Amino acid sequence: MAILSLVLLLLAHIITTSFSLQIHFYSKSCPRAEIIVKQVVQKHFQQDPSVPSGLLRLQFHDCFVRGCDGSILLDSDGHNVAEKNAPPNLTLRTFDVIDDIKAELEKECRGVVSCADILALATRDGVKLSGGAAYALPTGRRDGVVSNVADVHLPSPMISVAEAVAAFLSINLDIVDLTTLLGAHSIGLCHCGFFMDRLYNHKGTGLPDPSIDPTLLTTLLKKCPPHAVTLQNITQDSSVFMNQATTTPFLLDGSSFYHGVLNGMAVLQLDQELAFTDLTNKLAARFVNSPKLFRKQFSKSMVKLGNVGVLTGEEGEVRLNCRRVNSATSSNSSTKV
Ligand code: HEM
Ligand SMILES: *[C@@H]1O[C@H](CO)[C@@H](O)[C@H](O)[C@H]1NC(C)=O
Ligand SMILES: *[C@@H]1O[C@H](CO)[C@@H](O)[C@H](O)[C@H]1NC(C)=O
């Protein structure tokens, strides 16, 4: 009798704790899943070297809002406005890459690999293709069925480091993760509208931000002449490379990015503020001197980001189409998880 209850206790323990992410979650259910993801990302990367930066940003936005549950991938429908259509739908891109991967995976093993995992894996492969480290990524995420524009409270690029730290703490990422993950801004593009204030009206002075390197300021003034832009029409705005301190704007390279930060060459206000904040400036200096340290910490912080608020086990579902929930009626109900 005592043995039986012990067995039951153990069983209950296993049932309540076994649903966590694990490395190679699909090794039995879809053995080629990770290979297929990698092949499709590689194919897109060969046509467009900016694909990894698009994926990285998509992954951040997915995880920051409602956890890494693929909710950023859902389209709006008749009754529900989805996260991706938040007033600045924030110029997110590479949704087509995810669709392409999903189509290939559905051919291979129908209804097995979640969209949340596809995005996390594709991002991981994008990091590697951009020169970052290859990291083992735990999988087993399930897809959420809710995506609501009202849930989108992403940090603005004009906030202070302290505010960004607070925002990251709310998803259990610390100041090291923040400083490291902002290193993702060593690749990709930035629309002028996200830093126009720095060029023309820094903190209401009507003058440029004095912390911008003078040569860079001249360049940016040319690329972003005075013009009106709102978050609603920012997708039509012109853009510059996010990393202005390098000749390789698609190489995930902490050294050039943090060197730029420490020398007035960051494009976004928040990135520039890393130089003026204790701790973040010290870490930035360490990353300049040790590319290896940056690569290692970046992988660690990406794995941590990928764990935020995940659904596992029987929670949520595995979507058949990343843009739609399986029963199209539940997408506007915020009570279901
Ligand atoms: C407080 C935190 C953050 C803020 C305020 C922020 C803000 C921004 C802004 C304003 C852009 C420009 C978007 C555009 O013009 O299309 C951008 C781009 C980007 N962000 Fe962030 N970001 C943050 C954190 C992150 C994190 C954690 C990651 C990755 C792990 C990331 C990865 C990227 C990438 C790769 C791009 C380039 C996107 C592209 O090429 O389309 N960001 N970010
Ligand atoms: C972003 O919003 C604009 C305007 O609301 C829309 O035309 C565009 O398709 C949206 N992009 C995505 C990826 O949803
Ligand atoms: C964006 O909107 C602003 C304000 O409504 C307008 O003045 C500007 O011309 C628009 N820009 C583009 C590129 O549509």
Q: Are residues 203 and 282 in the same domain?
A: yes
Domain membership flag for residue 309:
yes
Q: Which residues have CB under 8 Å from 239's CB, separation 6+?
A: 189, 190, 191, 192
Q: Are residues 80 and 168 in the same domain?
A: no
What are 191's two structure tokens? 């629309």
What are 240's two structure tokens? 């510059």
Residue-wise pLDDT for 6-52, tens only, equals: 555 555 544 444 468 999 999 999 999 999 999 999 999 999 999 99
* Residue owning the nearest CA to atom 5 of ligand 2: 85
Question: Is the pLDDT reported for residue 191 higher than 90?
Answer: yes
| pLDDT the model gives residue 13 | 47
Q: How far apart are CA 151 and CA 317, in angstroms?
A: 20
CATH number of the domain within which 118 lies: 1.10.520.10
Q: Is 61 a catalytic residue?
A: yes
Q: How far apart are CA 312 and CA 141, in angstroms?
A: 5
Question: Ligand 1: does its nearest atom lie under 6 Å from the Cβ of 198?
Answer: no
What are 337's two structure tokens? 């998880």
Residue-wise pLDDT for 209-250, tens only, equals: 999 999 999 999 999 999 988 888 888 899 999 999 999 999
| Domain extent at residue 179 | 161-303
Question: Ligand 1: does its nearest atom lie under 6 Å from the Cβ of 51?
Answer: no
Q: Helices 254-262 & 280-289, crossing angle to 10 degrees?
A: 130
Phi, psi (rounded to 5 degrees) for 266:
-80, 145
Q: Could you tell me the distance, in angstroms and rounded to a whole number, from the CA of residue 248 to the centre of ligand 3?
A: 31
Q: How far apart are CA 98 and CA 94, in angstroms?
A: 7
What's the total number of domains in the chain?
Answer: 2
The pTM of this model reads 0.91
Catalytic residue among 44, 61, 185, 191: 61
Q: Could you tell me the distance, in angstroms and rounded to a whole number, from the CA of residue 46 to the centre of ligand 1?
A: 22
**Contact of 122 with 310, CB cutoff 8 Å:** no
Domain membership flag for residue 114:
yes
Q: How far apart are CA 156 and CA 147, in angstroms?
A: 20
Domain membership flag for residue 278:
yes
Q: Output the DSSP codes for 67-90.
A: SSSSGGGPPP-SS---GGGSSS-T
